[in-house]
Structure 1
Amino acid sequence: MVTVPYKLMIVDDEYEIRQGLRSFDYSAFGIEVSEDCENGLFALKALESEPVDIVVTDIRMPLMDGLALAEKLSSRYPHTKIIILSGYDDFEYAKTCMKHGALDYLLKPLDFEEYERILTKAIRLIDLEKEQNARSAALERKAKLSAHHLRKKFLRDIVQSAMTDDAIELESASAEVMLEENGEYVVVLLRSTVYPEKPKGVGDKEWNLIVFTLDNLLQDLWDEQGMGYHYVETDGECSLILTQTEGLAALREGKDGLTERLDSLLNGLKRFRGLFRTHFSYVIGPIVSKPGNIRRSYRAAQGLFHARIDRPDEAAEYLQPDGERPPGKEIEQANGKRLVQEAKHFIENNYDRTITLDDVAKHVHLNASYLSFLFKELTGQKYIDYLTLYRIEKAKEFLMQTNHKVHEIGEMVGYENPRYFTLVFKKYTQQSPNEYRNGLFHANAKDG
């Protein structure tokens, strides 16, 4: 008898299909149906608070279809088993879903004997994975969740708060955000025309869904297009941090390349007018240098939205680092070296997941700012540089010795975001991962 039920979610825009699937006797399989959703977007929102083991999803649905949902699930919840519901006309579409990690597919109308077979197959795989990877899977899920929250917190802080250079360096690495120390940046503020009020007739639950949708759309329309990064506030204000060199150059020269991109982004949002029930507008802040000044561009853009020129103070305000200062007395060398060595061992044993300076400090029972000082004092190298270089060396080994894809190797060395992994690798090696691997291949071929 199964004591711990497996969680299953049903995703289909047809009420009758959802009810039909719910009527199946799941108790014999130890399965509990957690929730049914009308489309992929609602499903993603529900999964944030309650992950499941199995998702049964239709292909054709509004807002987000089954293929898009399968892509998102394979990236965010790699251990979740996906079962596709497909009509005969969708057969090729169903095969595409299989390429994105779907376990199997069912043709409509449903054959419940076939459904039993596929559920049995899913449970067998889940049990096998749990037995083989219980500890590592838990760490991976925790790391992905941690990286997601760290990224949101860092992007909020970089646009709204004063941060020291050291804090930016450490937190941006943990958040997988690439900001060059001497780079230039612009904040574009995006707001609905009714900001800061909610659109008329929109309740709290629907508003949360709107903010969630905005976050996901901007990830696709801004971040994944290589424009930079974004942060969505709970009141719906969207901060777009422009890091793309071409966009900054166009802005400086008065060209309309950036405005064309932003207008295209607004057109992308218009597809969801039924959900948003409002128009959006944007303002572009001034170009600033260095990550610590990004908030100046943000504040100036806020002023433009209030139809006045807001000139931030010329002198940047910097927070003092929190925590204890290094003791005035001489550092006891032997003990300090032992602690740094322990910190290195922790990094070497946990580099494949999201780890922060706080994590390492807790392991060696030190204050984070003191460990940072101690690391630099005794090794001549910053903590974050040691962690990053160790990961890059491991990535080189995997590129040389395995056939894993680049994004898989990125995850194996602790980077959830494939684009960020490529940027970091190129920064430290002057080559992309693929260029590095191809160089090894050609060198070996020449030697052979």
Structure 2
Amino acid sequence: MTMSTVSTGGPTLPQVRRLVTDTPGPRSRALAERRSAAVAAAVGSVMPVYAAAAGGGVVVDVDGNSFIDLGSGIAVTSVGNSAPMVTEAVAEQVQQFTHTCFMVTPYDGYVAVAEMLNMITPGRHEKRSVLFNSGAEAVENAVKIARSATRRSAVAVFDHAYHGRTSLTMAMTAKSMPYKHGFGPFAPEVYRAPLSYPYRDGGLDGPAAAARAIDQLERQVGAENLAAVVIEPIQGEGGFVVPAPGFLPALASWARHHGIVFVADEVQTGFARTGAMFAVEHEDVVPDLIVTAKGIAGGLPLAAVTGRADLMDAPHTGGLGGTYGGNPVACAAALATVATIEQDGLVARATAIGDRLLAGLRTIQAADPRIGDLRGRGAMIAAEIVRSGSTEPDPDTTKALAAASHRAGLIVLTCGSYGNVLRFLPPLTIGDALLAEALDVLADVFAATR
């Protein structure tokens, strides 16, 4: 195998899968013991190993094991961990100041990020942006903005949706365990509509699926009561469900006709992940508001709501904000992240990664009927696992495949309302050789677990 290295802002990391101990190794086991005495048990982790370094397409644990990264910290480190331009921008900003609070003494970085978002998000209309810390916080503020602008209260979301873990966004999230179970009661005036789910829709096309959702919302809520329709253009935790073509445009057109704010939750899909800067661009949809986070700042916590100026300016002065929202260090990272995406051609790279992943997974699928569906866009690809000869979800096999992948040196994630989807979110900086090796390992894992 040819081995390359990647700059991480510090030492170069060999781009190689390497297992030198059992996983978890002794140092990870020791950290797990410390964790059990210090960290709340309610916080879970996918992998049993503890990270020491990461860059390019690998994560190295404290025992020296090197894992191929097919998760990117859940679509966060799209430009690679500790990307050089990001680390340089962060180091420079840290030397200047780490915090003043934009609501006290504002600073250039926040304004520059807002200008950048207003420019690169879909649509050439006049826009404004406001910055927050997390995707859930940004989603919640998008709803606040929509309610303030429309003077309506109802919010429409969709089956299989995930929007966060705050009080309001838990109500907006579809799946009970682990996100909602035991944490109610939930915020009112949140209504759920059926999504377009091509694999499970019996051939229903996008416009027909949109008509089904619209009919339900009009009957059960009333368009005149809806402040916002909030949707992930490609669902994240819900299973990487890609709505059938025409679903999103039909929904957006209906919302526009009735004065309903159309909100695209691009927390997981944004910033080149799907082979477009934003996933709505695949169908030329221009949302009224777009919510971003995760891939926005190369691993630092930052989120945003960007949208039509008349909507964004509707809340009263002081109605939006937060102590850490638009932290200057995170803003510096965001500007460097977008510059990296543009300089390194990562939108096109995401498409190339997706093509390679799908081709490799289709080869595996041809020999394994447990892969019921392959879907996604760009470097956001999923395999839905079912019982052979059926469409019945098989979460147990999915869990076993993920665990076997972890033992073999791959970081893979699961998702889906039924817990039966393997999802692949490699950094857009992953090399072709490493990606090919990951597919070879996956093929071995599937063969070994039949």
What TM-score bracket applies, with the shorter chain setting the length? Answer: under 0.3
TM-score, scaled to structure 2: 0.22
TM-score w.r.t. length of structure 1: 0.22
Larger Rg over CA atoms: 1
If each structure's helix is expressed as a fraction of its own residues, which one has the higher value? 1
Q: Could you say which structure has the higher strand fraction? A: 2
